[in-house]
A and B are shown apart, each in its own frame.
Chain A
Amino acid sequence: MIRSIVGLIIVLTLSAVVISVIPDLSVPVDLPRTGQYYTEHGVEDTGSVNLVTSVVVAYRGLDTLGEVVVLFSASTAVVLILTLIPVGSDPTPPSSIVALTARVLPAAVVLFGAYVITHGHLSPGGGFPGGAIVASAFLLVMLGSSSVPGSSKFLASIESLAGVTFGLLGFWGMMVFGQFLNNLVIPQGSPGKIVSAGIIPLVSLAIGAKVASELSSVFASYRNKGGEA
């Protein structure tokens, strides 16, 4: 009773705040100065046709590196906790529909994920979504089998390799131009081609491999019974 009254009060207060703010809302006509710079100079600066990728990987590449570190620590913590605490039971065997789907679909999903990763500078997508799509293909494989995935050195080495690649690409720019993650250590090429936009495709590839392997190991650790560390 008290809980629902408090909840109702909170909801009413929040709606009052929203209603009082709505008349002042306006759709911004001009972009802010940074956004305007990005839209005007983005393509010639980075060679990437997709401006979102040029901001995420080239202009604000350092932030993306931080994001990758956050994901790395989160997945490490999840895997650690789930392998140390022995709970859960054997996975229930999948129904025949799921089993058949898991046999047919993953190849197409991996292909789509690879497309999203490699075309990040041309069309919507990039390393993070593409890596998540590839990981969801592995998720489908796990859903379709009744066995438990063992611990994988392969995933861990892919992950470390991708992280080291991202860092080295950053330091390459530092050695040549004195700027971390400088995009133009590789010639920019003509915008719109698959080989263009400097190091953006390489960085996307590294991010994609890292995200895919991290999410896959998180999924695998949920599937494990745990307790074998």
Chain B
Amino acid sequence: MNPSLLAAASIGTGLMMLIAAIAALTVKKLISAIIIVGFVSLSSSVLFLLMNAPDVAITEASIGAAASTVIFLWGRGRIGGEE
């Protein structure tokens, strides 16, 4: 991929992550915050892929985006309810 395009894609993904992370802090409902954190994990896995680290990207996508999101959701179910 051509370098300036790569840089643009990385910076775009990074900005998207930043905005999503701030949204996760400010959003009212816990369940929305959990989904947004999952999205941040998935974007960071894309970022790792853009930085030529496919090994880390696979791990981040499977553990960070999938497993920990579900664990947060189930943990929220166990403590029972919002906030």
The chain A residues found within 8 Å of chain B, CB to CB, are 50, 52-53, 82, 87-89, 116, 124-126, 128-129, 132-133, 135-136, 139, 143, 215, 218-219, 222-223
Known: A88-B77, A124-B54, A124-B55. A139 touches B62 (CB 8 A): no
| B70 in contact with A219 (CB, 8 Å) | yes
Contacts of B63 in A (CB 8 A): 129, 132
Contacts of A143 in B (CB 8 A): 70
A-B contact number at CB 8 A? 49
Contacts of A125 in B (CB 8 A): 55, 58
Chain A residue at minimal CB-CB distance from B60: A129
Question: Can you give 20 contacting A-B residue pairs, CB < 8 Å?
Answer: A50-B55, A53-B55, A88-B77, A89-B77, A124-B58, A125-B55, A129-B55, A129-B59, A129-B62, A129-B63, A132-B62, A132-B66, A133-B62, A136-B67, A139-B67, A143-B70, A215-B67, A219-B70, A222-B71, A222-B74
Digit string of B41-59 for contact with A (CB within 8 Å is 1, else 0)? Answer: 0000000000000110111
Measured between alpha carbons, how far is A211 from B55 in the docked complex, in Å? Answer: 16
Contacts of B55 in A (CB 8 A): 50, 52-53, 124-126, 129
Chain A residue at minimal CB-CB distance from B73: A222
